[in-house]
Amino acid sequence: ETGVTQSPTHLIKTRGQQVTLRCSSQSGHNTVSWYQQALGQGPQFIFQYYREEENGRGNFPPRFSGLQFPNYSSELNVNALELDDSALYLCASSAAEQGSSGKLFFGSGTQLSVL
Amino acid sequence: QKEVEQNSGPLSVPEGAIASLNCTYSDRVSQSFFWYRQYSGKSPELIMSIYSNGDKEDGRFTAQLNKASQYVSLLIRDSQPSDSATYLCAVKAGMASKIIFGSGTRLSIRP
């Protein structure tokens, strides 16, 4: 168990809808990263939040957005869902302070299906 | 060119043998290197990290790093059926940088 929790575990949406995924980070971690993992592929970096600010973004369109709250929990929002957005969405927390390893600890993921 | 490249496999290894997994990366300023194991239907779990050139051993696992060749490897000794999983190589450039994953190598240990 990593202490990172994600909700919901599964979600079914239709094309064009909007979705919000949630993540609670491990105690002591101030950084949250979101990844998209399609079947048979490695996790693709979406973005990272550090102390409530976006701190790096991957090659994803603006309809993918996020938030980090003062308690370091985070949300991933996806607007105008497309069929290709169907994937496992992984949240990972880490500590970004000097001297930390930067290791990622993953939640169990949210499986999103877009019909 | 992909930032982190791995052979997708599947790599089939007999039980008790050594499994060797390889990874190359493109960003020369990369500083931190990780191996994650992902069982089917589960999320990735960290099994090894390495930060300096050479070998790092932890139980049956050895990570090897060669920054000049931009190459990272993972050796699994005395392979067990429970080692059957996808192994993800991941690379981080600096303290506040994102971690980039390869596409993973699927490992199958045959009894």
pLDDT tens column, B9-25:
899 999 999 999 999 99
Query: Which residues from chain B sit within 8 angstroms of residue A44, using beta carbons?
Result: 101
> Is A111 near chain B, with CB under 8 Å?
no
Interface test with B, best of A6, A104, A105 (most B CBs within 10 A): A104
8 A C-beta contact, residue A99 and residue A107: no
Between chains, do A56 and B97 touch, taking CB under 8 Å as contact?
Answer: yes
Query: Which residues from chain A sit within 8 angstroms of residue B49, using beta carbons?
Result: 101, 103
Asked which of A13-22, A71-80, B92-101 is least confident by mean pLDDT, the reply is B92-101
How large a percentage of chain B has pLDDT more than 70?
A: 96
Between chains, do A106 and B44 touch, taking CB under 8 Å as contact?
Answer: yes
Between chains, do A98 and B100 touch, taking CB under 8 Å as contact?
Answer: no
- What do you get for the CA distance between the two ends of chain A, in Å? 32
Query: Which residues from chain B sit within 8 angstroms of residue A58, using beta carbons?
Result: 98
Q: Which residues of B58-93 are buried (b: 16+ CB within 10 A; e: fewer)?
A: eeebbbbbeeeebebbbbbeebeeebbbbbbbbbbb
Give chain B's mean pLDDT: 93
8 A C-beta contact, residue B43 and residue A90: yes
Q: Can you tell me the distance from the alpha carbon of B87 to that of B76, in angstroms, rounded to the nearest whole number?
A: 11
The residues in B 8-67 lying below 8 A from A, measured between CB atoms, are 32, 34, 42-46, 49
**CB pairs A-B closer than 8 Å:** 57
What does DSSP say about strands A44-50 and B11-14: parallel, antiparallel, or unpaired? unpaired
Between chains, do A42 and B32 touch, taking CB under 8 Å as contact?
Answer: no
| Confidence band for B65, pLDDT divided at 50, 70 and 90 | very high
Residue B39, pLDDT score: 96
What does DSSP say about strands B105-110 and B11-14: parallel, antiparallel, or unpaired? parallel
Cα distances (angstroms) measured from residue A23 to each of A79, A105, B89, B94, B101: 18, 12, 24, 24, 20
Residue A100, pLDDT score: 54
Query: What is the arithmetic mean of pLDDT over B36-59?
Result: 94
8 A C-beta contact, residue B60 and residue B16: no
> Is A60 near chain B, with CB under 8 Å?
no
> Is A55 near chain B, with CB under 8 Å?
yes
Residue A50, pLDDT score: 87
In the block, residue with structure tokens 């991957």: A58
Query: Which residues from chain B sit within 8 angstroms of residue A105, using beta carbons?
Result: 46
Q: Which of B6, B45, B100 lies nearest to residue A45, judging by beta carbons?
A: B100
